[in-house]
């Protein structure tokens, strides 16, 4: 049984994300580097790292497009897409993917 770790609140200009204080406590240890990048405020790095992991389900497309838009913004502009909007959508998808399943989990001891 996993020990509950009080969530770490990461704030950026995009919004707030509650994560375990210790990245090693994440359900999937592959996310430790992603969480470290988020905690440092480097969302671009977090998106690029997250795009490497393939198990994202409904979030995979948004994260992958966000990574591509970060790496090749001119191509997306030529296609009539806004790279910043794609980046924001990737951040939103990443936040949804990393949130714990319980809404009020931070209230539990």
Average pLDDT over residues 47-53: 87
* pLDDT at position 2 over 80: no
Helix axes 32-39, 43-50, angle to 10 degrees: 170
Please state the domain extents for the chain. 7-100
Tell me, what's the pLDDT at 33?
Answer: 82
Provide the pLDDT confidence category of residue 12 given band limits of 50, 70 and 90: very low
pLDDT digits (tens, 9 = 90+) for 71-106: 999 999 999 999 999 999 999 998 888 776 655 444
Residue 94 burial by Cβ neighbours in a 10 Å radius (0-12, 13-18, 19+): buried
Q: Is the pTM of this model over 0.75?
A: no
Residue 2 burial (CB count, 10 A): 7
């Amino acid at each position: 049984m996993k020990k509950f770790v009080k969530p770490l609140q990461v704030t950026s200009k995009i919004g707030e994300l509650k994560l375990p204080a210790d990245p090693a406590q994440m359900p999937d240890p592959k996310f430790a580097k992603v969480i470290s990048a988020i905690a440092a405020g480097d969302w671009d790095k977090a998106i690029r790292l997250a795009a490497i992991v393939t198990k994202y389900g409904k979030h995979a497309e948004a994260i992958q497009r966000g990574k591509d838009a970060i790496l090749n913004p001119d191509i997306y502009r030529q296609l009539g897409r806004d790279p910043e909007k794609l980046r924001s959508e990737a951040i939103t998808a990443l936040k949804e993917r990393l949130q714990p399943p319980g809404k009020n989990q931070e209230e539990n001891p």
